[in-house]
Amino acid sequence: MQYFNFDPYSLPPEAEALRQEVRDFLKTELADYPAVLRSRSWAGLDPDFSRKMGEKGWIGLTWPKKYGGAERSFFERYALLEELLAYGAPVGSHWIADRQSGPTILRFGTEEQCQRILPGIIKGESFFCIGMSEPDSGSDLASIRTKADKVDGGYVINGTKVWTTGAHHCDWMIALVRTSPPSDNRHAGMSQFLINLKQTKGLTIDPILNIAGEKHFNMVVFEDFFVPESDRIGAEGDGWQQVTAELAFERSGPERYMSSIQLLIEMIREAKLDPSKRAQEQIGRLIAHLATLRRMSISVAGKLESHANPALEASVVKDLGAIYEQDMPEIAHRFARTEASMTAATDFEQVRAYITQAAVSFSLRGGTREILRGIIARGLGLR
Amino acid sequence: MNELRQIMADTVEKLFSDQVTKKLKEQAEAAVFPDALLQAITENGLLHVLVPENMGGVSGQFADAEVIARAVGRHAVPLPVVEQIISNYLLASAGITPPDGITVFAPVRDSETINLHDGAVTGTATRVPWGRKADHIAVVTDEGIALIKAGDFSLTENQSIASEPRDTLEFNGATAIASGSLPSGMTAHSVFALGAMMRASQMAGAIEWILEASVQYANDRVQFGRPLGKFQAIQQNMAEMAGHAAASGAAALGAFQAADLAHEGNVDSTFEIAAAKTRISEAAGIVTSHAHQIHGAIGFTYEHDLHFRTRRLWSWRDEFGSDSYWADWIGGRILALEADDLWPWLTTRPT
């Protein structure tokens, strides 16, 4: 009985060629970019960097040429993402648009929406955030209460979204809202809308400080916020099916095991200065996990490339990846000689301070450990 | 998986499902050697998977051997299968036609060196799997491979935590009835690594079986009016097990595929083998713990089938280098790099 399929794939030569091109670009572009900022990984924000990515044609890499995409393979996209993450590039401005909002519009949106929205994403000028969670709906996404009521020419939205990464600098949100009251079928009656965040009437965006002192996510309040009919994505009531597909994309990339890689690099630098048998073995263990996770993650990319559904395998990689990423600061702590601090004298201690704080979110964002394991348990036939 | 490999997988699965019964495993632990099973394995060509056709073999790849090693672990086959696959590979590579009967190889510890001088073999190999059952020993010496007949060395019986023979062989000027070189590019350490690679795949197989048995048990066993599998606490542990099982399978196959690339001269596969042995040996501890927890007291009995795999996992994770040994080996290689070269180096490795 095979529950999962992690068939091996080798990245094709064109992916390796793109990898080299991206690596050369990043080495120049990020030459003076400090380690502690690199450690922010895909949470690092820099709209200028995103525009440069757009100029390179590296956003929407797999999307149709008619919208400005490059129609390249998921393997090439995989190699591109790995390089961006490995060098800690500040990709946060466009990351969500590229990873999930764009694919959602491509898959479920109208031709008019594609033509209107996708070229801006591809140029690195149009940024997106995700309107799923609410104050009373975290892991239990089907319990959302934000609602859209039909009015002449569109809908008015009322409710609150929270933990909305980047809402304060984004142009658009894709929001999951109720278009019909809750019924026995919990997954029915929801729809997704494009929310123009530049339209300020009826919209309040308040940043929420995280434990690392960053303004990273937000509370977004809708009060009779008007959305035209033309900004509904897909048919009314199809929202749940859309977010399920979207979350499979959200969970499928190399960011699910590479968030802590700057700390691994700094650990190696530190261990070389003060060699010990213990540090050597611990680093060896981390590398064994890293190599295995990378194989598994490339296998998920292979599934995307062959248009198979990667949802279950992606959940496995994300669960294992988050544990690995979270172990890293604990292991670093065991062989640190000084104190972790954002104002420490060494890159190692600065990065350690940042990752120690950030890591707690790695098994929360994009589906908690418990939700993922529920999905995996269902895959095993236990639910 | 290619068609040939799939056929081999199906053949092996059928053979072991039919013949490796609980009774057979119990008897093997009571020193009743399963001759008929070994004969069937031999007749199917499984022991000669890595031997060229002109020497009576199958001319298979390491990835083909992985299918066999995985099944040996899955079914807890109480026989020297992977040991004979390695021995026959080493002999054939040295131009020696593998002899009839059982041939295992020695030493199996990285710290042991055996000398070959003027056709005479001297040295001690401890914990050699199935040494007492061997008709010949393929000895990895400082001068390449040497074939020794049973009876030409003294033997002290010992056993593993899974009650498999692990014997001490003392060679005191034993006669090399044939000798030759190790495969091109290989050292005594890379033979040791081949052993680790086989154990990695056997462990992945045992873990697969344990996961399936645990899922089955969780669905069948009812407590508090519900199957165990309906309890979230159980589901969480099972999902964690499943993650380790998936990682183990991926890591094991990766090592064998890298070994095939190494055979073609493209890469040294020791890193992939080290990563697999480290990763899967770590998984073994977690998986056995969860499996026994879910099975409760019945899984702690000799009566139940579970221990044939869990005890083998505890044995195999230590053999041919534990996770500590190989993690240290990997760490040594990584710390020889500049920190900023970690990623460029990793992306050159085969996936």
Q: What is the mean pLDDT of chain B?
A: 96
Are B10 and B150 part of one and the same domain? yes
Among A72, A85, A90, which residue's Cα sits nearest to residue A15? Answer: A72
Q: What pLDDT shows up at residue A313?
A: 95
pTM for this entry = 0.96
* Residue B127 DSSP SS3: strand
3-state class (DSSP) for residue A299: helix
* Those residues with Cβ within 8 angstroms of residue A5's Cβ, 6 or more apart along the chain or in another chain: A299, A303, A313
Separation of alpha carbons B324 and A333, rounded Å: 19
On whether both B236 and B254 belong to a single domain, the answer is yes
Are B208 and B132 part of one and the same domain?
no
A136 touches A145 (CB < 8 A): yes
Q: What percent of chain B has pLDDT over 70?
A: 100
Q: Torsions phi, psi of A329, nearest 5?
A: -65, -30
Distance CA B269, CA B259 (A): 5
CA angle A59/A60/A66 to nearest 5° reads 125
Per residue in A34-80, pLDDT (tens digit) is 999 999 999 999 999 999 999 999 999 999 999 999 999 999 999 99
- Whether residue A104 contacts residue A96, with contact meaning beta carbons closer than 8 Å, is answered with no
Q: Are residue B144 and residue B241 in the same domain, yes or no?
A: no
Q: How confident is residue B267, by pLDDT bands cut at 50, 70 and 90?
A: confident
The domains of chain A, with CATH numbers, are 13-126 (1.10.540.10), 130-238 (2.40.110.10), 251-379 (1.20.140.10)
Looking at residue A252, its pLDDT comes to: 83
Could you tell me if B310 and B321 are in contact, meaning their C-beta atoms sit under 8 angstroms apart?
Answer: no
* Whether pLDDT at B146 is above 90: yes
Residue A278 near chain B (CB below 8 Å): no
The answer to whether residues B120 and B140 belong to one domain is: yes
Q: At B278, which amino acid appears? A: T
The predicted pLDDT at position A152 comes to 97
**Shared domain check, B19 and B157:** yes
Token duo for residue B175: 């006669």
Domain tally, chain B:
2
Q: In this complex, is the C-beta atom of A12 within 8 Å of any C-beta atom belonging to chain B? A: no
B64, B4 contact by CB (below 8 A) = yes
Question: Does residue B168 sit in the same domain as residue B21?
Answer: yes
Q: What is the mean pLDDT of chain A?
A: 95
| B337 vs A contacts (CB less than 8 Å) | 268
pLDDT at res. A335: 85
Q: Are residues B119 and B174 located together in one domain of the fold?
A: yes
Q: What is the pLDDT of residue A58?
A: 98
Question: Could you tell me the pLDDT band of residue B266, with boundaries at 50, 70 and 90?
Answer: confident
| Domain range enclosing B84 | 3-180
Pseudo-torsion of CA A109, A111, A115, A117, nearest 10°?
Answer: -10
The reply to whether B351 falls in a domain is no
A120 pLDDT higher than 90: yes
Tell me the chain A residues in contact with residue B240 when contact means C-beta distances shorter than 8 Å: 319, 373
Q: DSSP secondary-structure letter at B181?
A: P
Cα gap B339→A286, rounded to integer Å: 14
Is A320 in Cβ contact with B254 (below 8 Å)? no
Distance from CA of A344 to the nearest CA of B (A): 20
Where is the domain boundary, B161, B180, B199? Answer: B180
Answer yes or no: do B231 and B141 share one domain: no
Share of chain A above pLDDT 90, in %: 92
For the stretch B301-313, pLDDT in tens is 999 999 999 999 9
Residue A327 and residue A290: Cα distance in Å, rounded?
A: 12
Tokens of A256: 């699910």
Q: For residue A321, which residues of chain B lie inside 8 Å, CB to CB?
A: none
Per-residue model confidence (pLDDT) at position A142: 94
For residue range A295-330, list pLDDT tens digits in order.
999 999 999 899 888 899 999 999 999 999 999 999
**Digit-coded pLDDT (tens) for B283-304:** 999 999 999 999 999 999 999 9
| A319 vs B: CB within 8 A | yes
Asked if the model's pLDDT at residue B1 lies above 90, the reply is no
Instruction: Express each pLDDT in B24-64 by its tens digit.
Output: 999 999 999 999 999 999 999 999 999 999 999 999 999 99
Please say if the pLDDT value at position A248 is more than 90. no
In this prediction, residues B179-185 reach a mean pLDDT of: 93
Phi (first) and psi of residue A350, to 5 degrees: -70, -45
| Residue where a domain stops, chosen among B122, B146, B180 | B180
| Residue where the block lists tokens 């600065």 | A350
Omega prior to B80 cis, within 30 of 0 = no
**What confidence score (pLDDT) does residue B108 get?**
98
- pLDDT value, residue A88: 98
The three state secondary structure string of A28-54 is: HHCCCCCHHHHCCHHHCCCHHHHHHHH
B253 and A8 in contact (C-beta within 8 Å)?
A: yes
Q: Do the domain assignments include residue B324?
A: yes
User: Phi and psi at residue A219, in whole multiples of 5°?
Assistant: -105, 130
Predicted confidence band of residue A383 (pLDDT cuts 50, 70, 90): confident
> From the CB of residue B126, how many other CB atoms can be counted at a distance below 10 Å?
18
Element housing B172 (H / E)? strand B166-175
Closest Cα to residue A167, out of A117, A132, A143, A120?
Answer: A132
Smallest Cα distance from A247 to chain B, Å:
19
B147 and B7 in a common domain: yes
- Output phi, psi for B82, to 5 deg: -65, -30
- CATH for B173: 1.10.540.10
What DSSP letter does each residue of A331-352 carry, written as one string? Answer: HHHHH-SS---TT-SSHHHHHH
Burial of A11 (0-12, 13-18, 19+ CB in 10 A): buried
Q: For position A353, what pLDDT does the model report?
A: 97
Is A211 a residue whose pLDDT tops 80?
A: yes
Domain assignment present for B79: yes
Note whether B167 and B204 are same-domain residues.
Answer: no
Compare all CA atoms of chain A with the CA of B334 and give the residue at the minimum distance. A284
* Nearest residue in chain A measured CA to CA from B328: A281
Is the minimum CB–CB distance between A190 and chain B shorter than 8 Å?
no
Residue identified by tokens 């499928």 is: A252
Note the pLDDT of residue A12.
97
Does the CB of A181 have a partner CB in chain B at under 8 Å?
Answer: no
Is residue A10 less than 8 Å (CB to CB) from chain B?
Answer: yes
Which of the listed residues B127, B159, B180 is the one where a domain comes to its end? B180
pLDDT tens profile B322-342: 999 999 999 999 999 999 999
Q: What are the pLDDT digits (tens) for B200-256?
A: 999 999 999 999 999 999 999 999 999 999 999 999 999 999 999 999 999 999 999
Do residue B327 and residue A288 have CB atoms under 8 angstroms apart?
Answer: yes
Q: What is the pLDDT of residue B214?
A: 98
Helix axes B270-295, B188-220, angle to 10 degrees: 30
Q: Where are the alpha helices (DSSP H) in chain A?
A: 13-29, 35-38, 47-56, 74-86, 92-96, 102-108, 111-122, 239-250, 255-258, 261-273, 277-305, 311-335, 347-358, 369-379
* pLDDT at residue A229 greater than cutoff 90: yes
- Confidence (pLDDT) at A22: 98
- Residues B334, B196 within the same domain: yes
Distance (Å) from the alpha carbon of B34 to chain A's nearest alpha carbon: 27
**Residue A182, Cβ density class (10 Å: 0-12 exposed, 13-18 middle, ≥19 buried):** middle
> How far off is chain B from A142, nearest CA to CA, in Å?
19
The verdict on a CB contact (< 8 Å) between B334 and A283 is yes
Phi-psi domain of B198 (left: phi exceeds 0; alpha: psi -120 through 50; beta: other) = alpha
Residue of A346, A345, A329 lying closest to A270 (CA atoms):
A346
> Is B225 a member of any domain?
yes
B290, B237 Cβ separation under 8 angstroms: yes
Stretch A81-105: mean pLDDT, rounded?
A: 97
Q: What pLDDT is recorded for position B265?
A: 79
Reported as a single tens digit per residue, the pLDDT across A64-76 is 999 999 999 999 9
Q: How many CB pairs under 8 A join A and B?
A: 167
